[in-house]
A and B are shown apart, each in its own frame.
Chain A
Amino acid sequence: MTPDTFVFSTLIVKNLTRKNSQPPSQTLLLEAVNFKLKCGDRIALQGKSGSGKSLLMRAVVGLDPIDSGDVLLNGRTLNSDWICQFRAEVAYVPQRCSLLPGTVRQNLERAKQLRVHKLKVYNFDYSQALAEIGYSSELLDRDVQLLSGGELQLVNLLRTLQFSPQVLLLDEPTAAMDVATTAQVEKWLLSWQAADPQRAWIWISHDPNQCSRISNAVWRMENGQLH
């Protein structure tokens, strides 16, 4: 089985709603959010802090509970039976990353032992990917405890992209990186997306300039509503 078995066409979110569960407040954190992400889409998601951007991404991949709504991948409604396979194809990359004790390489390799990836064959070259971003492959043998916040984000991207997901839900993936590294990562991700036109992403960013560089459409989130 190769990682190319799955071919992405659409990710549809229908009426996704999440109420604030803590009484007495019954405000809506996500208010009937609808969107359709097609293959090849590069979407930038903007909005004030607390507007519900991260919550929406987490809800789409089932990390946060929802009160109502549906998520459909290639027309198939997401349910708990295939959530792990879904996450392998629709990869959410959180802003903050926490790795297991050990070296970077051990963390990258260890993820391959997950049941959902175990039987697949991946041909991801860590050294080449790092070189494209301007890093030496020495990073692979560094202890994760010695990594900066930006390097942790970089390793998390490597760890996710090695499985060739078809959709990326990126939650400020360069927030802790310097300007030069950010530019390199953007370039690297754009070339990664260009290598397979089916691939798509939703990229949360507060930087309008970055949004214009990495996206072909901008969505805005406000008070739990998507505009």
Chain B
Amino acid sequence: MQFGEWKTGNFIERVFMENSNYVIITWYQVSLTLLCCCAAGMLLAWLRTKLERQLLWALTRMVVQLSAIGFVLQWIFEWHHIGITLGWILLSTLIASLAAIKRIRRHFRHERIVAIVAVAGSSWPILVAALLIIRPQPITSAAFAIPLLGMILGNSLNAISLAIDRFRDGLHQDRERVENLLTLGASSWEASREIAADAIRVGLLPMINTMTVTGVVSLPGMMTGQLLSGVSPLEAIKYQIVILALIATTTTLGCLLAVWLTFRQSFSKWHAIIPETLARHI
């Protein structure tokens, strides 16, 4: 199957037709796997780990959330309206941005705007580029754009979150060193360049590690899903390479953008660190 042949709406039916070895999972089979997980929870309860409730709660949430998203996506794919697709992209970008900033330990002014700009500024251009390169028919296909964006966002938000957190924490830990350089006449960028480089490294490391071991230690989730649904391995790896290349590009852009914007918000125009106590009031 070629990327260009990807049709919206009835994509799943096409997969059924083209891949005769696809195994349809029934709700009965789904419930059996959930029972296995419940059994694992009972084991936790028997060992008095007090984790069984958390496991069951997470399991319930996962089932409810995935079911809900399944129905919503089914509706969006059938409806196939550009406005709904764009709305979905906006909403998921906003949620990813807020999730990215929620995990940082040291807050700063305009942090939400920084996260939104970093997430959107890195993922949207790459999504557009991917659509232009792959050219699904039609190019605004929700069945293509939405899962692709989801994978890009899921990875870039982690990288952006790690990079911002590392930069802010590094600035806090090395405040004296940075200020010592500033007193010598260093610009804020000269004084914090090493912290920024370290933050970018920390943000990119998980992605680099993942790419390094992909196919050797583990098979990525999307590729596994395609293999299970009957797509040939040679087709599946093409998708996987495309996805990982897009993720790597987005993550790199996102980290650079996030660290640059966080740097800009961490220093005043006087080349001085904005104190954390003032961060919320400026």
Contact = CB atoms under 8 A, between A and B. Distances in A.
Interface of A: 21-22, 61-65, 80, 83-85, 87-88, 91-94, 96-100, 111, 114-117, 156, 159-160, 163
Given A21-B277, A21-B278, A84-B271, A98 B176 contact: yes
Given A83-B271, A98-B176, A114 B183 contact: no
A111 B269 CA distance: 21
Interface stretch (B81-89, B184-192, B238-246): B184-192
A156 B183 CA distance: 11
B33 interface: no
18 contacts: A62-B272, A63-B183, A63-B270, A63-B272, A65-B270, A65-B274, A84-B185, A84-B186, A87-B184, A94-B179, A97-B176, A98-B176, A100-B194, A111-B181, A115-B187, A115-B190, A116-B187, A163-B184
B48 interface: no
Interface of B: 174, 176-177, 179-187, 190, 194, 268-275, 277-278, 281
B277 A22 contact: yes
A84 B269 CA distance: 11
B180 A97 contact: yes
Nearest to B175: A98
Nearest to A86: B185
Contacts of A64: 272, 275
A159 B184 contact: yes
B185 A85 contact: yes
A65 B184 CA distance: 18
A100 B184 CA distance: 14
Contacts of B185: 84-85, 87-88, 114, 116-117, 163
Contacts of A99: 177, 180
B197 to A, nearest CB: 13
B248 to A, nearest CB: 30
Contacts of B177: 98-100
B272 A94 contact: no
Contacts of B275: 64-65
Contacts of B277: 21-22
A22 B275 CA distance: 11
Given A98-B174, A115-B190, A91 B183 contact: yes
Contacts of B181: 111, 114
Nearest to A22: B277
Contacts of A87: 182-185
Contacts of A116: 185-187
A21 B184 contact: no
- Centre residue among A22, A97, A114, A159 by max chain B CB count within 10 A: A114
A91 B184 contact: yes
Nearest to A107: B180
Contact of B176 (A62, A96, A115, A117): A96
A206 to B, nearest CB: 21
A97 B181 CA distance: 10
A111 B184 contact: yes
Contacts of A85: 185
Given A63-B183, A65-B272, A65-B274, 13 more contacts: A21-B278, A65-B268, A65-B278, A84-B185, A87-B184, A87-B185, A98-B174, A98-B176, A98-B177, A100-B194, A114-B190, A115-B190, A160-B184
